[in-house]
Amino acid sequence: MATMPAPQTATRVASGGRLVFGKPEKAKGGRLLVRSCDNGGRGGNGRRVTVEAVNGAVKLNGAAVVADVRQVPAPPPPSSVDGGGDVRLGKFVEGRLVYRQQFVIRSYEIGPDRTATMETVMNLLQETALNHVMCSGLAGDGFGATRQMSLRKLIWVVTRINIQVDKYSRWGDVVEIDTWVASSGKNGMRRDWIIRDRNTKNMIARATSNWVMMNRETRRLSKIPEEVRQEVLPFYLDRSIIAADANAGGRKIEKLTDSTAEHIRSGLAPRWSDMDVNQHVNNVKYIGWILESVPLDVLEDYHLTSITLDYRRECRQSQLLESLTSMTTTSSPATAEPPLPATSRCSADLHSTHLIRQQDDGAEIVRARAEWRCKEHRGAMEQP
Q: Give me the active site residues, please.
A: 278, 280, 315
Residues 6+ apart with CB under 8 A from 121: 163, 165, 168, 195, 205, 207
Do the beta carbons of residue 324 and residue 264 sit within 8 Å?
A: yes
Cβ-proximal residues to 374 (8 Å cutoff; 6+ apart), any chain: 301, 302, 303, 337, 340, 344, 346, 348, 349
Q: How far apart are CA 145 and CA 126, in angstroms?
A: 13
d(CA 143, CA 165): 26
Distance of alpha carbon 253 from alpha carbon 328, whole angstroms = 14
Question: What are 307's strand-pairing partners?
Answer: 163, 370
The angle, 0 to 180 degrees and rounded to 10, between the axes of the packed helices 285-292 and 118-136 is 170
